[in-house]
Amino acid sequence: MRITVMTADEQIISLDVDPHESVENVKALLEVETRVPLQQQQLLFNGKEMKNFEKLSALGVKDEDLVMMVSGSAPSVEASRDMGLNPDGSAVNPSALQQQLRQDSNMMGQLFQTDPEFAQALLGNDLDKLQSVLRERHRQRSEMRRKQDEELALLYADPFDVEAQKKIEAAIRQKGIDENWAAALEYNPEAFARVIMLYVDMEVNGVPLKAFVDSGAQSTIISKSCAERCGLLRLLDQRYRGIAHGVGQSEILGRIHVAPIKIGNIFYPCSFLVLDSPNMEFLFGLDMLRKHQCIIDLKDNVLRVGGGEVSVPFLHEKDIPSRFLDDERHAKEASSSGAPANSSAGDKNRGSASSGASHGGNLQGAEFEAKVAKLVELGFGREAVVQALKLFNGNEEQAAGFLFGG
């Protein structure tokens, strides 16, 4: 097993030792590492001194546990005892432990790579949070040891026991998952952090908004309340009512065919689907991203519009209203693929299964393919044609107008 030894001068030493090793032999190893004579060493575990004749296993020392090493006078022993851990993994003196670890820049650097939550707790001022993290890490180590004990027991199981073999198979599979998780934690720790979605500042009809940039949504979407605030609800074309299907579904109230949006210092024409969705405000979708030749530049963290004539920075988390961060899930449910799957001009059934049939609402089969071929002959790409026809529920004339307008 591996134990970590912290010396009085803040040196961190990792040792591979046998669980049944004596404390005296551990001190001999530390003498080689630290040049501190064995006789001058005092080892502490959970605030108690470890005697030379005692075995690590008898003292309760397990894999990944922390042992303190001090030398010299009794006050140093007392100070190190304050830095010990309780049986539940919490610190005896969390303030002393926090101060000691903060002073070790190498240790803090390693923690930010391998355990950013623990590192943040050490840098913060909430000792209760630090204690909570220490207890959780202790629980995780205990769970890992329990699994290792179970695996060891399975090694001696009857090879002809069907249930035992199933457990062995599950243990092997879980071990692969755990190793994959550990590798990700070491080499790709940012994968466990929260990813903030892309927002930029825009103005819609002169009203400042935080726009959610989403290349995964086919259509640009504005909520009814936001459209009303921007003075655009009077332009709502209710002939385009329907249902937007994605992860969930939302009612499409209609379409605003054109309104000015300001990105940077330049105005651009934009069209919107208006959704009856109180959980999102304004989503800048793929239709307008394509139309205005936008580039999502994650290297420079900017949105480039018009092929690069305007660049606006993506907002930092502190600049995004907290309710927006909570509402991203609802926005994705409202848009997801973003296409108004059952929307069409003259739809009186508000997105029923038969809506738009008079405009060729069947979005598959020979009739749909014939429309695709006809529009492709006009010089448009097949993918763009298919998206346009789906956007307008198979209406060939509206799709052609959209393609020519884009």
Residue 89's pLDDT band, with cuts at 50, 70 and 90, is confident
- Reported as a single tens digit per residue, the pLDDT across 201-230 is 999 999 999 999 998 888 899 999 999 999
Whether the per-residue pLDDT at 72 is higher than 60: the answer is no
Please report the pLDDT score of residue 65 as a whole number. Answer: 86
Q: Which residue has the higher pLDDT, 237 or 344?
A: 237
For strand 282-284 and strand 221-223, is the pairing parallel, antiparallel, or unpaired? antiparallel
Please report the pLDDT score of residue 364 as a whole number. Answer: 61
Torsion of CA 30, 34, 38, 42, to 10 degrees: -80
Token readout for 30 is 């530390």
Whether the per-residue pLDDT at 111 is higher than 80: the answer is no
Please report the pLDDT score of residue 78 as a whole number. Answer: 52
Mean pLDDT over residues 220-245, rounded?
88
Whether the per-residue pLDDT at 24 is higher than 60: the answer is yes
Mean pLDDT of all residues in the chain? 78
Cα separation values, 186 from 18, 111, 192, 314, 335, Å: 25, 10, 11, 28, 35
**Alpha carbon distance 104, 184 (integer Å):** 25
Q: How many alpha carbons lie under 13 Å from residue 142 in its C-beta half-sphere?
A: 10
**Alpha carbon distance 215, 234 (integer Å):** 28
What is the H or E stretch that residue 275 is in? strand 266-275
Any residues with CB less than 8 A from the CB of 401 and at least 6 apart, and which? none
Please report the pLDDT score of residue 244 as a whole number. Answer: 67
Whether the per-residue pLDDT at 271 is higher than 80: the answer is yes
**Residue of 65, 82, 128, 214 marked active site:** 214
Whether the Cβ atoms of residue 351 and residue 252 lie closer than 8 Å to each other: yes
Residue 20's pLDDT band, with cuts at 50, 70 and 90, is confident
Looking at mean pLDDT, say which of 39-53, 90-104, 218-232, 315-329 comes out highest.
218-232
For strand 282-284 and strand 207-213, is the pairing parallel, antiparallel, or unpaired? parallel
Residue 303's pLDDT band, with cuts at 50, 70 and 90, is very high
Residue % of the chain over a pLDDT of 90:
21
Among 71, 85, 76, 113, which Cα is nearest to 3's? 85
Whether the per-residue pLDDT at 351 is higher than 50: the answer is no
Please report the pLDDT score of residue 32 as a whole number. Answer: 82
Residue 278's pLDDT band, with cuts at 50, 70 and 90, is low
Mean pLDDT over residues 282-303, rounded?
93
Mean pLDDT over residues 293-303, rounded?
93
Residue % of the chain over a pLDDT of 70:
82
Residue 288's pLDDT band, with cuts at 50, 70 and 90, is very high
Query: Lowest-pLDDT range, 44-48, 74-78, 138-142, 313-317?
Result: 74-78
- The string of DSSP letters for 135-202 reads HHHHHHHHHHHHHHHHHHHHHTS-TT-HHHHHHHHHHHHHHHHHHHHHHHHHH-GGGGSPPPPPEEEE
Whether the per-residue pLDDT at 241 is higher than 80: the answer is yes
Whether the Cβ atoms of residue 254 and residue 222 lie closer than 8 Å to each other: no
Whether the Cβ atoms of residue 26 and residue 41 lie closer than 8 Å to each other: no
Domains in the chain, start-ordered, CATH in brackets?
199-335 (2.40.70.10), 359-405 (1.10.8)
User: Does 88 qualify as catalytic in the annotation?
Assistant: no
**Alpha carbon distance 76, 317 (integer Å):** 44
Any residues with CB less than 8 A from the CB of 335 and at least 6 apart, and which? 214, 216, 217, 218, 219, 221, 244, 246, 280, 283, 285
Please report the pLDDT score of residue 258 as a whole number. Answer: 92
Residue 232's pLDDT band, with cuts at 50, 70 and 90, is very high
Phi-psi bin for 295: left (phi > 0), alpha (psi -120 to 50), beta?
Answer: beta
- Reported as a single tens digit per residue, the pLDDT across 32-55 is 888 788 888 888 888 788 888 889
- Residue 250 φ then ψ, to 5°: -135, 155
Whether the per-residue pLDDT at 101 is higher than 60: the answer is yes
Mean pLDDT over residues 373-390, rounded?
78
